[in-house]
A and B are shown apart, each in its own frame.
Chain A
Amino acid sequence: MLRIPCPHCGLRDYTEFQYGGDASKIRPVHTEECLAPWHDHVFLFDNPKGVHREYWQHRLGCRQWLIIDRHTATNVIEPTTRDPTNSDLMNSDLMNTGRQP
């Protein structure tokens, strides 16, 4: 069973989490009017066979969103030097929704 280190609750089974997709993408700024960067952001994926930076939400725990680096061919989660609750998330899709500049 894949187990995910939650910064708040510790190592927990992945069934307590909801997967949230690729966290390596940078969302275009809201004033971006050209559709191409939006298309690329929403629809294109690197889909690496290797380390994948991704969102998970500890839905059945503390409900925090977190970012992990997981190897997609082994499910080994890389130790992270970042604080997963820091500004990475603040710059992300999830925190940006609906906010106008």
Chain B
Amino acid sequence: MKAMHRSRYSALSLVRHALKEMPWRRAWRAATPQPHYDVIIVGGGGHGLATAYYLAANHGIRRVAVLEKSYIGSGNVGRNTTLVRSNYQLPGNTQFFEHSLKLWESLSHTLNYNVMLSQRGQVVLAHGPAQLDVLARKGNTMLLNGIDAELLDRGEVMRLLPYLDYSSECRFPIYGGLLQRRAGTVRHDAVAWGYARAASDLGVDIIEHCEVTGFIENQGRITGVDTTQGRIHAGRTAIAVAGHSSHLAAMAGLRLPIESHLLQAFVTEAIKPFVDHVISFGAELFYISQSDKGGLVFGGHIDGFNSYTQRGQFPKAQDVAECAVALIPSISRLRLLRHWGGIQDMTPDGSPFIGRTPLRDLYFNGGWCYQGFKATPASGWCFAHTLAHEEEHPLIRHLALDRFERHNGFDEYGLGLWPYRQ
């Protein structure tokens, strides 16, 4: 496996290409499968690519293949609302997501690829004193862990976000909020492309249009995969295909605590800069930000019953639009430009699974519910560590696949045992 000579992106390279009208080189090598790898990662989404990159960069494991059934960027990494934040409360989650946010903060430099991190700040709104108490507790947890958090009263929210509905007829009056200034958005496609390019430069084979059709099992060990491009052997095999985790795990004979659900997201027509933070509504699950192109990007709850359709139900689109207008009445005349449905893994406690499986040399990463995108760097970092050391990274020990058997459910939002109600 030869590492490609890296051509670095820089202001100078931009000028040079513009002057010479040189075509840009492929960002990553087109690879064909070798017969054997140290590690095969099934799934070329954000988590799979990040895992491959950190395996090579942090652990020196470069005989790695990433198998993607479609093209890089075609899955959920290119179909989300691009938010990053670390305002989580439960011990374990707080540290994991803060590690992720710290990795986001240096990611453009690490990868030599501009992922366009915009730390515009996120405000979670409270619509009553009890809700503000909960946010205060969360903010204190964050502060105790060295994470920035500011509790805002109604006046402070009004100064920061003057365009929200503060009228007396408002259905959910705004009482206050919790601000994390370091939270924000990242250009999602750039994350996939950046990790793919950086991993490829370190010798990782990124194999697109290669669908896994089965696992090779040998006396309780997984020793490789069968694919549409032939059989590939591996020392260790990792699954990172959130959305279709159950489907793939079933090929290895595993049943998972996961259901697949449909989440819709929406983009309006572009307007001038208006919503300059990420805002989370407190009365419903609803979050909104403005993209660099000017469109308002927002989303809400899953549709509520398991689905692989990738096509949302209209009543949920209506719910989300009602939330948007309840929060910001002035956007009621905006037209929706785009709207899509992505399939995500939902788990009984709303938390993901990363780590070993009951089968030797088979590792699993999935079940991300609403949290997949913001977790991408830390997930890859910790999963790579787990694959390299055959033992879970300390930051993900609470996310084991067998946690329900050990009565260690990890329920950040306290919603209970139903994947479809998370």
Residues of A near any B CB (own CB < 8 A)? 1-2, 13-15, 19, 21, 35-36, 39-40, 42-49, 52, 54, 72-75
Contact = CB atoms under 8 A, between A and B. Distances in A.
Contacts of A39: 404-405
B257 A21 contact: no
Contact of A75 (B255, B307, B315): B307
Contact of B255 (A1, A45, A54): A45
A47 B315 contact: no
Contacts of A13: 315
B352 to A, nearest CB: 15
B313 A73 contact: no
Nearest to A15: B315
A2 B258 CA distance: 23
Contact of A40 (B255, B315, B419, B420): B255
B399 to A, nearest CB: 15
Interface string B305-325: 111110001110000000000
A2 B306 contact: no
9 contacts: A19-B420, A43-B257, A45-B258, A46-B250, A47-B259, A49-B244, A72-B260, A72-B306, A75-B307
B210 to A, nearest CB: 19
A54 to B, nearest CB: 7
Nearest to B311: A75
Contacts of A54: 305-306
B376 interface: no
B418 A73 contact: no
Interface in B233-288: 244, 246-247, 250, 255-260
B307 A45 contact: no
B260 A1 contact: no
Contacts of A52: 306
B257 A45 contact: yes
B417 interface: yes
A72 B256 contact: no
B402 to A, nearest CB: 9
B304 interface: yes
Given A1-B313, A2-B313, A72 B308 contact: yes
Nearest to A19: B305
Q: Which of B307, B315, B348 has the most CB of A within 10 A?
A: B307
Contacts, number: 64
Contact of B309 (A45, A48, A73): A73
Given A1-B315, A2-B313, A39-B405, A45 B305 contact: no
A27 to B, nearest CB: 14
Nearest to B246: A47
A45 B417 CA distance: 12
Quick one: which of A40, A54, A72 has the most chain B CB within 10 A?
A: A72
Given A1-B313, A2-B313, A19-B420, A43 B305 contact: no
Nearest to A72: B308
B141 to A, nearest CB: 27
Q: Which of A2, A45, A47 has the most CB of B within 10 A?
A: A47
Contact of B256 (A15, A44, A48): A44
Contact of B308 (A36, A42, A43, A49): A49
Contact of B247 (A14, A44, A49): A49
A21 B250 CA distance: 19
Contacts of A73: 308-309
Interface string B295-339: 000000000111111000111000000000000000000000000
Nearest to A2: B313
Contacts of A1: 313-315
Nearest to B319: A15
Contacts of B247: 47, 49
A19 B313 CA distance: 14
